[in-house]
Structure 1
Amino acid sequence: MSEVKIEPFPVSIPERDLTDLRERLDRVRLPEAETVPDGAQGIGLSRLRSLLDAWRQHDWRALEKRWNAIPHYRTRLDGLGIAFWWVRSPEPDAFPLVLTHGWPGSVLEFEDIIGPLTDPVAHGGSAEDAFDVVVPALPGFGFSARPQEPGWKPGRTARAWADLMTRLGYGRFGAHGGDWGALVSTELARLAPERVAALHLTMPFASPLPEDVATADETEKGMLARRERFMLTGSTHVRVQSVLPQTLGYSLLDSPAGLAAWLSEALVAFSDTRPEAGGGVSVAQQLDDIALYWFTRTGASAARWYWEAARGTPRDAETQNALTVTVPTAFTLFPAEPFPVSRRWAARRYHNLISWNEMEYGGHFAGWEQPGVLVSELRNAFRQVRDH
């Protein structure tokens, strides 16, 4: 594949890989049950057994059929093969939008919003809100190639996304992301502000300064407490994958039970599991995602993203906030987000806030948990910059 060639490709996992998975699931070896009932030791044995039982019934071929119904392509960007969905709207004035996922998610987070975004009329919306949608898989995730050398940090990925949009014929476009996708999108807006018409994020990358902590109101104090709890008990995946992704990766590649436990732990912990919120990321959505990681053998390469980012992303608030974003930025905040940010903290880094909307339901995975809300928020966010 040449550096500039864009080619479609079929998704078709060899049958021997499906057979191998079935055999591994049949002979899976699990530990004894946890010794506490509150989840303090991680995903419980009963829950994992139920998840593995459901995986035995999972229809990968049905997911392949859905995938192959979405226009998907490969190209080489900065020497690496990148896979992406590219769905053009039937509306002639559609606005280009690049959507970027994070971990432990995948492009599948956006599967249910592609139709309403690209063809709003068919989904009860207005033609003026139509988008051409581009959904690339991060390096080392899904059907994108696994990097063979260090250096694929958020900034490099953002530059690759800018090159991708150029290659697809888009000079000016919007960007959206959550989790690592929010950081890549932030970097894209920072590095190419003349091209990013607006930015929409569900997870601000901004931290409070000491003076913010000292002057925090009651709401911000609650956020600080949640952030502290997350760093103490919820950020194990960050610490392990930032330091020992290769060691962890052997288990993620060799054991379907290990992969399912590692991904499902975060998929549930970071979503809004309240019944009135829809229950969070469903078992079916989890299994589609877990199976994608399994069949593409990307457990280790996705984990390595944290190792790369830890060496290319400033952690201290002062340095982080100095990397300012000037393009119009809209935020949609969901209550189960494990690492909350206040508007005051975010405004120090994102200098042109055009909206800040706090939702009643939802968590870290908006495209899976609250797809209708996300579609509405994206339409509203980009409506005011389309013609500028």
Structure 2
Amino acid sequence: MSTANTFRIEVSQSVLDDLQERLQKTRWTDEPADAGWNYGTNPAYLRELVTYWQKIYDWRRHEAMLNTLPHFKTEIDGTGIHFIHVKGKGPNPRPLLLTHGWPDSFYRFYKAIPMLTDPAGQSFDVIIPSLPGFGFSDKVALNTDQVAALWAKLMTDVLGYEQYVAAGGDIGAIVTKSLANQQPDRVSAIHLTDVGYPTGQEDWATMSAPEQEFGRYIQQWWYTEGAYNMIQSTKPQTLGYGLNDSPVGLAAWILEKFYSWSDNGGNIETCFTKDELLTNIMIYWVSQTINTSVRSYLENARAAWSGTPSPSAQYVKAATGVSVFPAEAPMPVEWAQRMANVQRFHKMPKGGHFAALEVPEDWTGELRSFFYSL
């Protein structure tokens, strides 16, 4: 058994002072008239948020809140991994591994933790690692199959769980699929909010009409919304210089995704408070991990181009629950069944890409309903 040491988030005051100085010296761009969110991040909202960041937001308060959770660090195959491990109530909580995506962090799940650990009859031991290259894990960019191999050792060698369930969305969904295929005897079931998307390499003749429609939707989405993925999958280092140097640039890059991918009806604060948006941004800023987080896209692209069969791309035989939230891509059940052994498929009434943060009651209810129905 490997060991894990307790960990506290302790950001030096010099980092916070430097941040304030950078915010004060922001060189703002010109702005199109009535830009709104039509050109990217809304200039008026960004200025409003930055003013709040300077004058009201209190990192120390949020740092203290985060430190009420049990944080740990361990080293697996030479990579330092940060994780949260909260034991569930009751006699037999089920181990549940949650994996976040980009551009969020372990913070995605902070509202869900008490909902998953508290009900004594249907509770979970909740394990939430920070992806390598994100937050307080080591600054190294790995592909999803490499991450899944680390998670396998985290759950068995470090924490000693013989069997467990896992869930995730975005990058976390792909890691979870890979983990289920790498450890089929240990991962008893998984829950996903997406299962991967059509790439254009599929045999079109074998796809149902809803799958073909979904494929066309995804193709159009890449043309209109996928520029971030293209640059992060090809030239991430060029992007990283600006995002690591400018807090306003970092905020703009992340905010646009929180707006575009959430079920907010045109007002981002119907889904997230300013404090939540800024705390997630701050985790990237104080850890200086935005560069490695975006570089992970290139590592995944290289793995895909290598021609080597990937566990994350293979059909998942483990029992799988899928919840589709309305602000996500409109995945049909036929596509989900093509990718995994779907035992539960549910279209949700509200929520989006960051469902655990947007609608935590609905998201945790989906996990509990699925995992405790098996």
TM-score (norm 1): 0.89
Which range moves more in the overlay, 304-313 or 161-170? 304-313
How far, CA to CA, are the matches of 2:267 and 2:67 in structure 1? Answer: 33
The question of whether the paired residues in 2 share the 8 Å contact of 1:206 and 1:321 is answered with: no
Deviation at 1:92, TM superposition (A): 2.4
Deviation at 1:205, TM superposition (A): 1.5
The question of whether the paired residues in 1 share the 8 Å contact of 2:7 and 2:71 is answered with: yes
Deviation at 1:284, TM superposition (A): 2.3
Which range moves more in the overlay, 181-190 or 226-235? 226-235
Q: Find the partner of 1:143 among 136, 151, 158.
A: 136
Deviation at 1:186, TM superposition (A): 0.4
Per the alignment, residue 188 of structure 1 pairs with: 179
Q: Find the partner of 1:202 among 184, 193, 197.
A: 193
Q: Find the partner of 1:28 among 13, 26, 29.
A: 26
Which letter does structure 2 place at the counterpart of 1:359? Answer: M
RMSD value, Cα: 2.4
Alignment CA distance shift 1:255-1:206 (3 Å):
closer
Q: Which runs of 5+ in 2 are unaligned?
A: none
- 1:349 equivalent to 2:339? Answer yes
Deviations 1:59-109 (A, max 9, x none): 111111111100010000121000000001132200000000000010001
Q: Find the partner of 1:160 among 150, 153, 166.
A: 150
Alignment CA distance shift 1:236-1:283 (3 Å):
farther
Per the alignment, residue 174 of structure 1 pairs with: 165
User: Per the alignment, in what secondary structure is the counterpart of residue 283 of structure 2?
Assistant: helix
Deviation at 1:46, TM superposition (A): 1.2
Q: Find the partner of 1:294 among 274, 279, 285.
A: 285
Per the alignment, residue 79 of structure 1 pairs with: 78
Per the alignment, residue 123 of structure 2 pairs with: 130
Q: Which runs of 5+ in 1 are unaligned?
A: 121-126
Number of residue pairs the alignment of both structures matches = 369
Which letter does structure 2 place at the counterpart of 1:356? Answer: F
Deviations 1:326-380 (A, max 9, x none): 000000100101x342211221121x21100001111100111110001100101
Deviations 1:268-300 (A, max 9, x none): 111111289982333322111001110111110
Which letter does structure 1 place at the counterpart of 2:125? Answer: D
- 1:380 equivalent to 2:369? Answer yes
Alignment CA distance shift 1:194-1:18 (3 Å):
same
Q: Find the partner of 2:44 among 46, 56, 75.
A: 46
TM-score (norm 2): 0.92
The question of whether the paired residues in 2 share the 8 Å contact of 1:177 and 1:200 is answered with: yes
The question of whether the paired residues in 2 share the 8 Å contact of 1:271 and 1:362 is answered with: yes
The question of whether the paired residues in 1 share the 8 Å contact of 2:101 and 2:171 is answered with: yes
Alignment CA distance shift 1:321-1:105 (3 Å):
closer
Per the alignment, residue 123 of structure 1 pairs with: none
How far, CA to CA, are the matches of 2:58 and 2:8 in structure 1? Answer: 17
How far, CA to CA, are the matches of 1:189 and 1:370 in structure 2? Answer: 26
Per the alignment, residue 236 of structure 1 pairs with: 227
How far, CA to CA, are the matches of 1:103 and 1:206 in structure 2? Answer: 16
How far, CA to CA, are the matches of 2:52 and 2:325 in structure 1? Answer: 28
Deviations 1:173-198 (A, max 9, x none): 00000000000000000111111010
How far, CA to CA, are the matches of 1:55 and 1:322 in structure 2? Answer: 40
Alignment CA distance shift 1:277-1:284 (3 Å):
closer
The question of whether the paired residues in 1 share the 8 Å contact of 2:35 and 2:43 is answered with: no
Per the alignment, residue 55 of structure 1 pairs with: 53
Alignment CA distance shift 1:322-1:267 (3 Å):
closer
Which letter does structure 1 place at the counterpart of 2:323? Answer: T
The question of whether the paired residues in 1 share the 8 Å contact of 2:73 and 2:82 is answered with: yes
Per the alignment, residue 90 of structure 1 pairs with: 89
User: Per the alignment, in what secondary structure is the counterpart of residue 76 of structure 1?
Assistant: strand
How far, CA to CA, are the matches of 2:105 and 2:299 in structure 1? Answer: 18
User: Percent identity at matched positions?
Assistant: 37
Which range moves more in the overlay, 43-52 or 204-213? 204-213
The question of whether the paired residues in 1 share the 8 Å contact of 2:195 and 2:339 is answered with: no
Which letter does structure 1 place at the counterpart of 2:63? Answer: E
How far, CA to CA, are the matches of 1:246 and 1:301 in structure 2? Answer: 9
User: Per the alignment, in what secondary structure is the counterpart of residue 14 of structure 2?
Assistant: helix
